Amino acid sequence: MTQIYNFSAGPAVLPKEVLQQAAAEMLDWHGSGMSVMEMSHRGAEFMSILETALADLRELLAVPDNYKILFMQGGALAENAIIPMNLVGRKPQPATIDFVHTGSWTAKSINEAKKYANVRIAAAAPDGRFHAVPKRAGWNLHRDAAYLHVCTNETIDGVEYHFNPDAGDVPIVADMSSHILSRVIDVAKYGVIFAGAQKNIGPAGLTIVIVREDLLGHALPCCPSAFDWKIVAEHGSMYNTPPTYAIYIAGLVFQWLKRQGGVAAMEQRNIAKASLLYDYLDASAFYRNEIAKDSRSRMNVPFFLRDESLNEAFLVGAKAHGLLQLKGHKSVGGMRASLYNAMPIEGVQALVDYLKEFEQKYG
Amino acid sequence: MTQIYNFSAGPAVLPKEVLQQAAAEMLDWHGSGMSVMEMSHRGAEFMSILETALADLRELLAVPDNYKILFMQGGALAENAIIPMNLVGRKPQPATIDFVHTGSWTAKSINEAKKYANVRIAAAAPDGRFHAVPKRAGWNLHRDAAYLHVCTNETIDGVEYHFNPDAGDVPIVADMSSHILSRVIDVAKYGVIFAGAQKNIGPAGLTIVIVREDLLGHALPCCPSAFDWKIVAEHGSMYNTPPTYAIYIAGLVFQWLKRQGGVAAMEQRNIAKASLLYDYLDASAFYRNEIAKDSRSRMNVPFFLRDESLNEAFLVGAKAHGLLQLKGHKSVGGMRASLYNAMPIEGVQALVDYLKEFEQKYG
């Protein structure tokens, strides 16, 4: 079989070692005679898997003691509702939420938040296109906001924060779905960090929420118990049956990350991978990336062929070279290469080699 | 390794053939070069997995054309809130929901429904213990109820409906989490059928909802978009990223069920398995099951040793015989054997052999 490199934006590539271990343990986890899928979530075997995964994630992200880590369900789209249902109750109703609008994922979050609060756009790209994170100096924040919502990596638009947002005493809620664990972050700068697992962690169906303890306990009466962070925290993410197999795979990914040297080492590799691709795109007149250099995502690189009539030929050739899932999101068009942790630099080099070959043929 | 039989109430035993296939395909699904976990949910490969799973489930349960099948997240506990959020809007607010109260799972559903509507208990076991399904003739139903909620198999209490509930024009919502696909049902008798997958279908993290089309489109304003059945249906269960790997495993289980002869054949085996165990318990003075004969669950069999001081010795001996996860739920005590579809009759025979051996030793 040709060597495959999978550039999907999510669900996305996983480390081969993790998949090999999962396959080997599928019918019998550690001599238990059971697959992880078959274990009672309250049994000693699964509890050890859950606790190890929680401890490893806490270590990898250096999560302070006054933060809870919750394993939930529903992805970032469900969390877009769950967040206001848990946080707007801290303020007189109707409360207000500030947003920095950076692209497609912020747009979805804004639309959902409007069900539960008034929404203010504290900052947005002026031309309505999402090619840069608005400069901090221009953010029009309000001290009475229930919270400030940011999406620190826009998967579709390819825009990433390369600075720590701050909002004074107003808690910051950050959607880190597509770059969590790809770079060192200071968790203490945030009130809530959330992420769907299926981009940079593991299988779809697991949502990670990291929440400062003083923000628990304010759920609206309409918030389902299964999504009330305080209840989830009090039950150690076991109020409802958690997505046990997804947690197991995420735990294997966390162990793999530790073997790779942790998040700081991973960040250096991600810088090298992203630079390799952006440098080639910038030097070429055949391709282009439209994102401001200070806001370019290391994880998701949208790019365009100057001659878009060649798009189909480009994708067909890429697939023949084992370079999969490079088609851009339908709302943006063109191409997109996602370079998550599990993408080795050899995959990025193979992509650059193909970009060059295609340019030489058609340029 | 000793032959293991896993009697967990959920997550629970899966067919060995399914686990073997999942292990074999873990790194490369059908020559795609990808694990199912790594596939974009919108790619051709996963779409074929999803569509096959939906079609197979529709065939297995003979779901009529005017019902949608939705793949969701959050389990039955989340669905306990999602259901009223989707259905009470059909009536003037505050609406009323009727419940037939049969045990622990109905109790959870009742508590959650109270957030969104007035709750009326249409029927309940008179002595406050849940040893029988209340007879239909005694149900005090209300014609103006938004719906009637029933739990057709109580996993914890071991009580199962062996008749079709009916409520005239009021739609019936049935929690079938722990016996879906174990027996033939007439879907047309229900407005909504829901089930967490982790008991009789597949991995935790997938929730199945089967809903009559005329019940869509009534979500309350506070209902998160990701849990609005109409939105989920319109997007073919892809409004948010679905739990792709759990759907794949469920699909393998559906194919296994078809190879076994479908639900009718499975029902005959489940009758044989349950009879084997109940007949032994009834003939013994050493053990007892407290459920009325016409309401006994074929899936979940709680039983007690007359001398409960032997419980620990019983469980230790069971484990040594490869009979796992027999401890009863903490709210009921004693023992519980769950006999889902994937439990072969050999497992039930091994349990009965052990019951006999233990009785001979200590009786």
pLDDT by residue (tens digit) across A309-320?
999 999 999 999
Asked whether residue A109 falls in the same domain as residue A237, the answer is: yes
CB contact under 8 A, A19 and B27: yes
Identify the pLDDT of residue A1.
56
Q: Which of A259, A288, A309 is the last residue of a domain?
A: A259
* Residue A98 and residue A178 in one domain: yes
Position B2 scores a pLDDT of 76
E strand spans, B85-161 = 96-101, 118-124, 147-151, 153-154, 159-160
Residue A200 distance to chain B (closest CA, Å): 11
Task: Indicate whether B246 belongs to any domain.
Answer: yes
Give me the residue label for tokens 């970032």: A76
Site from B5, B29, B35 to mutate, A interface, most A CB atoms within 10 angstroms: B35
Model confidence pLDDT, tens digit, residues B259-297: 999 999 999 999 999 999 999 999 999 999 999 999 999
Task: Verify whether the Cβ–Cβ distance A38 to B12 is below 8 Å.
Answer: yes
Q: What ranges in B179-242 are assigned the alpha helix state H?
A: 229-234
Classified as helix, coil or strand, A147 is: strand
Write out pLDDT tens, residues B2-60. 789 999 999 999 999 999 999 999 999 999 999 999 999 999 999 999 999 999 999 99
- Which of B40, B240, B245 lies at the smallest CB-CB distance from A77? B240
Say if residue A9's pLDDT is above 60.
yes
Contact B78, B206 (CB under 8 A): no
Compare all CA atoms of chain A with the CA of B221 and give the residue at the minimum distance: A115
The string of DSSP codes covering B55-72 is HHHHHHHT--TTEEEEEE
| Residue pair A118/A110 in contact by the 8 Å Cβ criterion | no
Confidence band, pLDDT 50/70/90 cuts, at residue A6: very high
Residues B267 and B334 reside in one and the same domain: yes
CA distance A358 to chain B (A): 23
pLDDT at A127 over 80: no
List, for residues A130-171, the tens digit of each pLDDT value.
999 999 999 999 999 999 999 999 999 999 999 999 999 999
Q: Do A203 and B115 touch (CB under 8 A)?
A: no
The bridge status of strand A147-151 relative to strand A96-101 is parallel
Number of folded domains that form chain B: 2
List the single residue in B81, B225, B246 with the smallest CB-CB distance to A224: B81
Shortest Cα distance from B299 to chain A (angstroms)?
A: 16
**pLDDT computed for residue A2 by the predictor:** 76
| Average pLDDT of the segment spanning A290-304 | 97
Answer whether residue B12 is part of any domain: no
Alpha carbon distance B232, B175 (integer Å): 19
CATH classification at residue A287: 3.90.1150.10
Q: Are residues B166 and B246 part of one domain?
A: yes
- Write out the binding residues of B: 42, 105, 155, 175, 198, 240-241
One domain, residues A252 and A281? no
Tell me which residue in A1, A77, A205 faces B33 most closely, judged by beta carbons.
A1
Question: What CATH number has the domain bearing residue A77?
Answer: 3.40.640.10
Annotated binding residues of B for L-glutamate, written as ranges, equal: 42
From A40, A204, A227, residue closest to B241, measured CB to CB: A204
Q: Report the share of chain A in percent with pLDDT over 70.
A: 99
Residue type, B301: V
The reply to whether residue B325 touches residue A239, judged by beta carbons under 8 angstroms, is no
- As annotated, the binding site of A for L-glutamate includes 42
**Residue where a domain terminates, one of B233, B259, B285:** B259
Q: Using 50, 70 and 90 to split pLDDT, how confident is the model at A129?
A: confident
Q: What integer best gives the mean pLDDT of chain A?
A: 97
A contacts of B27 (beta carbons < 8 Å): 16, 19-20, 23
- For residue A115, list chain B residues with Cβ-Cβ distance below 8 A: 221-222, 224
Which amino acid does the sequence have at B329? H
Instruction: Decide if B4 is inside a domain.
Output: no
Closest CB to B225: pick one of A28, A81, A246. A81
pLDDT (0 to 100) of residue B1: 56
For the stretch A226-257, pLDDT in tens is 999 999 999 999 999 999 999 999 999 999 99
Domain boundary among B192, B225, B259: B259
Q: Which residues have CB under 8 Å from B361's CB, separation 6+?
A: none
Residues near B37 by beta carbon (within 8 Å), at least 6 away in sequence: A11, A14, A19, A202, A203, A204, A249, B244, B245
Q: Say if B181 falls within a structural domain.
A: yes
CB-based contact A203:A66 (threshold 8 Å): no
My answer on whether A252 and A277 are in the same domain is no
Could A27 and B9 be called an inter-chain contact, meaning their C-beta atoms sit closer than 8 Å? no
Could you list the active site residues of A?
105, 175, 199
DSSP label of A184: -
The Cα–Cα gap between B103 and A47 comes to: 27
Q: What is the mean pLDDT of chain B?
A: 97
- Verify that A175 and A189 share a domain, yes or no: yes
- Based on the domain organization, do B56 and B157 belong to the same domain? yes
Is residue A142 located within the same domain as residue A203?
A: yes
Q: Residues with Cβ < 8 Å from B358, sequence gap 6 or more? A: B314, B317
According to the model, what pLDDT value does residue A363 have?
84
Tell whether A12 is covered by a domain.
no
Contact call for A325 and B225, based on CB within 8 A: no
- Report yes or no on A9 lying in a domain: no
User: Cβ of B19 and A41 within 8 Å?
Assistant: no
Q: Which residue out of B7, B34, B330 would a mutagenesis test of the A interface target, given it has the greatest number of A Cβ atoms within 10 Å? A: B34
Interface test with B, best of A34, A82, A340 (most B CBs within 10 A): A34
In-domain check, residue B311: yes
Instruction: Identify the domain containing residue B170 by its residue range.
Output: 22-259
Residue A226 in domain: yes
Judge if A241 and A266 occupy the same domain: no
**Interface touch B239/A37, C-beta < 8 Å:** no
Query: What pLDDT is recorded for position A128?
Result: 76
Is there a contact between B64 and B188 (Cβ–Cβ < 8 Å)? yes
CB contact under 8 A, A221 and B75: no
Which 3 state secondary structure label does DSSP give B266? Answer: helix
Contacts of B157 (CB under 8 A, 6+ apart): B102, B103, B104, B130, B131, B291, B302, B332
pLDDT digits (tens, 9 = 90+) for B52-65: 999 999 999 999 99
> Are residue A241 and residue A319 in the same domain, yes or no?
no
Distances (CA, A) of B357 to B319, B323, B350: 14, 13, 10
Given a contact cutoff of 8 angstroms between Cβ atoms, the answer to whether A161 and A119 are in contact is no
Domain shared by B217 and B274, yes or no: no
Treating both helix axes as pointing N-terminal to C-terminal, what angle do B262-283 and B244-259 enclose, rounded to 10 degrees? 80
Chunked in runs of 10, what are the mean pLDDT values of chain B (363 residues)? 89 97 98 96 96 98 98 97 98 97 97 98 86 95 97 97 95 98 98 97 96 98 98 97 98 98 98 98 97 97 97 98 96 96 98 98 92
Contacts of B240 in chain A (CB under 8 A): 74-78
Helices (H) and strands (E) in chain B, counts: 9, 14
> Judging by beta carbons within 10 Å of its beta carbon (0-12, 13-18, 19+), is residue B104 exposed, middle or buried?
middle
Q: DSSP assignment, residue B263?
A: H
Q: Which amino acid is at A291?
A: I
pLDDT > 80? residue A103: yes
The confidence score (pLDDT) of residue B136 equals 94
Phi-psi label, residue B205: left if phi above 0, alpha if psi -120 to 50, beta otherwise: left
